Amino acid sequence: MRDVFIVGVGQTPVSKETEVRGRHRAAAAVKTALAAAGLEPARVGALYVGNMMSGLLANQQQLGGLIADYAGLAGIEALTVEAACASGGAAARVGYLAVAGGAHDVVVVCGLERMTHVDRDTVTRALATAADQELEGAGGESFLSLNAQLMRAYMEKYRVRAEDFAPFAVTAHRNAVTNPNALLRKQIDVDGYLASRVVSDPLRLLDASPICDGSAALVLASADVAATLPNAPRVRVDASAAATAPLALSRRSDPLKLEAVEASTERALVQARIQRRDLDLFELHDAYTIMSILTLESGGFAKPGTAARLAAEGRIDLDGDLPIATFGGLKARGHPVGATGCYQLAEAYLQLAAAGGANQVRDAELALVQNIGGTGATVVSHVLRRVA
Amino acid sequence: MRDVFIVGVGQTPVSKETEVRGRHRAAAAVKTALAAAGLEPARVGALYVGNMMSGLLANQQQLGGLIADYAGLAGIEALTVEAACASGGAAARVGYLAVAGGAHDVVVVCGLERMTHVDRDTVTRALATAADQELEGAGGESFLSLNAQLMRAYMEKYRVRAEDFAPFAVTAHRNAVTNPNALLRKQIDVDGYLASRVVSDPLRLLDASPICDGSAALVLASADVAATLPNAPRVRVDASAAATAPLALSRRSDPLKLEAVEASTERALVQARIQRRDLDLFELHDAYTIMSILTLESGGFAKPGTAARLAAEGRIDLDGDLPIATFGGLKARGHPVGATGCYQLAEAYLQLAAAGGANQVRDAELALVQNIGGTGATVVSHVLRRVA
């Protein structure tokens, strides 16, 4: 397989702009990414769109062709990739396959979600389609209730207290303050976390990522094309790996072990030929604080029951040894579902390109980026490396 | 890129079985395909699912992980590909990229749609999400009305009569009679066609493919793996090409010219290094008779205004020089939307494997398979070749 580079990214600010149609937002992200790469639309071979809920919330499917048209790429190969909240990462996976395999020299990956133009109940029901409808959704489970289940089980098993979850939210919010594309640019503290409303016991509002709109895009290119872009930072995709687990928690042997996180992380590290300690940052999928914890433990970054300590000790901060959510994460940058995986990759790219501004992780060279669908059912991991 | 072979296919009979859940139907198709290939589940690297409407009609997304679990492939890479009615072909395109590029040696592609458990209006609205919601869907256009528009414009421009469309439906029904997986195994004639109800003037019920349920699967493998399967017919994928056009008819310069059909066909022929006359059959996307006609003309198989003659002269019959819909096509095998592209590929495979039974096209060696989303907005073409 050929080397694949990210040669440009485009982010629209995550927001709650109910009147902005998805096609226009996505087209803006694609155009920004192409301009950043310095590539004309005519150079693009394909567009892969990550989206989960446009059919359900906007009566619009076939986003591939639609966005290609509105982004000035009419005629090219285009399709939509869906893997619930991992749709953006899964679209990047397909983009990687197309460039690494030699089918295209340049592709654009665009994640998009629009959620704020409908009421909260409608969004909640739409999000629940990521769960097993027979075993979970039809019984009234939502992603709040499923994550609350996991959080409760974790707290009971490891005797962990509510305040132990707080540092994940606090860190994310701190990093969002200086990210112009973040939705929640507001510092919080542990007291604020503890005072926040319990929305599904024991899960608090500040354990959860917000409902929002967003689109982010990446331009992937072969080494040959990347070499013609002298001003582009050299950020290579050293691994692209996906894994799945049964959707329903009841079909897993141990719901507190995210087996797809374990498998996807392991595959990515092997592909990139690195160890966990080599990583300079980890853009993980902090849709809920419990997801951060289970990810760190299932991914082998902390022993079961101990991940909260990483946060308490500041090791996940920008100057820690494993920074996470460096631009605010899903928690505070926001989690526009199908777009999230592309925001994560765009942010990791900025870190490796030394373009992180106030959020820069010092000397960042190697990043793991992980996008999760459902309660760990689909996990897509990418390793990015800055090369000379 | 590496050679890619289809080494096994699985079809469930297209039907209207309202109580069969999609996951079980899809799992059956996947298992049948793997058994036909003689490959254990452990050999499979990824599952790519083609589906359009499961979120809208069954509140179930993230089908990749779900079907992987139920098909005995829990843990593997899996995701869903959507391109409206071209979802199955688009999933096959992703499967091709994964094997041709070297990411996986064996992948399964599974198309699935379940439509008959909800009422007709709900299905009609769900199908309309493939159209441009702003410019078409919100104005009340459906795929019946959009295809009726195209049919009316075509009839006026070329002075074509209703009965000129009939042979496409008649041929499809004739071929379906001997296909055990077809939904409409019933011969019709021109009089029956003309007597059928006008559902959206000038479009008759017998111009349109039926609402139905179905799932079909393909096993794709590298040449190395295919060589270890001595009993498998040698059917190679010699081209895989996709193209798009604006979704809305109003955004196209000439709605009667399907530019994405033209581009996708041309790319596929170039990739496969063949001429149109080399083809032994063409599984085209006959969702409506007008789509067959516009496909044959935009794809360069007939001059504008003349495609009906191919049908009238019997050239599209099993013993003609360009057989289409050889197992009944979308019209009579049925059009379970996201599954259709996989049925088409499975049928072309059977033809090239000389396993077509009563539907066999004599000495079939080279097939073009084309799956279309919307009114020609996404077009995915594959060329299959029987090799020694």
Chain B: residue nearest A247 by CA?
Answer: B66
pLDDT tens track for B323-367: 999 999 999 999 999 999 999 999 999 999 999 999 999 999 999
Q: Which of B53, B134, B244 to mutate to test the interface with A (most CBs of A within 10 A)?
A: B244
Chain B: residue nearest A251 by CA?
Answer: B69
Position with higher pLDDT, A137 vs A325: A325
For chain B, positions 64-103, list CB contacts with chain A under 8 A: 64-66, 68-69, 74-84, 86, 90, 93-94, 97-98, 100-103
pLDDT at B37 over 80: yes
pLDDT at B89 over 80: yes
Contact: A59, B244; criterion CB under 8 Å: no
The alpha-carbon gap from B21 to the nearest alpha carbon of chain A, in Å, equals 9
For chain B, positions 6-35, list CB contacts with chain A under 8 A: 21, 23
pLDDT at B68 over 90: yes
β-pair type (B106-113, B46-50): parallel
Contact: B69, A21; criterion CB under 8 Å: no
Whole-number average pLDDT of chain A? 97
Q: Which residues of A touch B84 (CB under 8 A)?
A: 61-62
Contact: B103, A377; criterion CB under 8 Å: no
Helix crossing, B166-177 with B289-298: angle to 10°?
100
Which of A77, A98, A129 minimises the CB distance to B60? A129
A214 contacts chain B (CB < 8 A): no
DSSP 8-state symbol, B300:
T
| Residue-level pLDDT at A141 | 92
Q: How many CB pairs under 8 A join A and B?
A: 221
| Residue-level pLDDT at A388 | 84
Catalytic site includes residue A285: no
pLDDT at A137 over 90: no
Q: Which of B1, B25, B51, B61 to mutate to test the interface with A (most CBs of A within 10 A)?
A: B61
Tokens of A322: 């494993």
Q: Per the residue annotation, which of A85, A110, A212, A342 is the catalytic one?
A: A85
| Residue-level pLDDT at B215 | 98
| Residue-level pLDDT at B15 | 97
pLDDT at A111 over 90: yes
Whole-number average pLDDT of chain B? 97
Which of A52, A78, A97 minimises the CB distance to B103? A97
pLDDT at A258 over 90: yes
The alpha-carbon gap from B84 to the nearest alpha carbon of chain A, in Å, equals 5
pLDDT tens track for A220-241: 999 999 999 977 779 999 999 9
| Residue-level pLDDT at A187 | 98
Q: Which residues of A touch B69 (CB under 8 A)?
A: 244-247, 251
pLDDT tens track for A61-84: 999 999 999 999 999 999 999 999
Contact: A81, B79; criterion CB under 8 Å: yes
| Residue-level pLDDT at B137 | 87
| Residue-level pLDDT at A162 | 96
The alpha-carbon gap from B57 to the nearest alpha carbon of chain A, in Å, equals 10
pLDDT at B233 over 80: no
Contact: A60, B377; criterion CB under 8 Å: no
Q: Per the residue annotation, which of B85, B110, B212, B342 is the catalytic one?
A: B85
Q: Which residues of B touch A136 (CB under 8 A)?
A: none
| Residue-level pLDDT at A232 | 72
pLDDT tens track for B138-167: 899 999 999 999 999 999 999 999 999 999
For chain B, positions 302-361, list CB contacts with chain A under 8 A: none
Q: How confident is the model at residue B112 (pLDDT cuts 50, 70, 90)?
A: very high
Which of B59, B65, B129 minimises the CB distance to A244? B65
Chain A: residue nearest B374 by CA?
Answer: A62
| Residue-level pLDDT at A195 | 97
A162 contacts chain B (CB < 8 A): no
One-letter-per-residue 3-state SS of chain A: CCCEEEEEEEECCCECCCCCCHHHHHHHHHHHHHHHHCCCHHHCCEEEEECCCHHHHHCCCCHHHHHHHHCCCCCCEEEEEEECECHHHHHHHHHHHHHHCCCCCEEEEEEEECCCCCCHHHHHHHHHHHCCCCCCHHHCCCHHHHHHHHHHHHHHHHCCCHHHCHHHHHHHHHHHCCCCCCCCCCCCCHHHHHHCCEEECCEEHHHECCCCEEEEEEEEEEHHHHHCCCCCCCEEEEEEEEEECCCCHHHCCCCCCCHHHHHHHHHHHHHHCCCHHHCCEEECCCCEHHHHHHHHHHCCCCCCCCHHHHHHCCCCCCCCCCCECCCCHHHHCCCCHHHHHHHHHHHHHHHHCCCCHHHCCCCCCEEEEEEEECCCCEEEEEEEEECC
Which of B61, B68, B373 minimises the CB distance to A244? B68
pLDDT at A45 over 80: yes
| Residue-level pLDDT at B104 | 98
Catalytic site includes residue B335: yes
What share of chain B has pLDDT > 70, as a percent?
100
Flag the least confident range among A232-236, A363-367, B153-157, B300-304.
A232-236
Q: Per the residue annotation, which of B104, B285, B335, B382 is the catalytic one?
A: B335
The alpha-carbon gap from B95 to the nearest alpha carbon of chain A, in Å, equals 10
| Residue-level pLDDT at A233 | 77
Looking up tokens 């990229």 gives: B97
Q: Which residues of A touch B65 (CB under 8 A)?
A: 83, 244-247, 260, 373-374, 377-378
Position with higher pLDDT, B96 vs B137: B96
A123 contacts chain B (CB < 8 A): no
Flag the least confident range among A83-97, A301-315, B225-239.
B225-239
Q: How confident is the model at residue B231 (pLDDT cuts 50, 70, 90)?
A: confident
Confidence (pTM): 0.98
pLDDT at B388 over 90: no
Rg (CA), chain B: 19
The alpha-carbon gap from B60 to the nearest alpha carbon of chain A, in Å, equals 5
Average pLDDT over residues A131-144: 93
A266 contacts chain B (CB < 8 A): no
pLDDT tens track for A145-161: 999 999 999 999 999 99
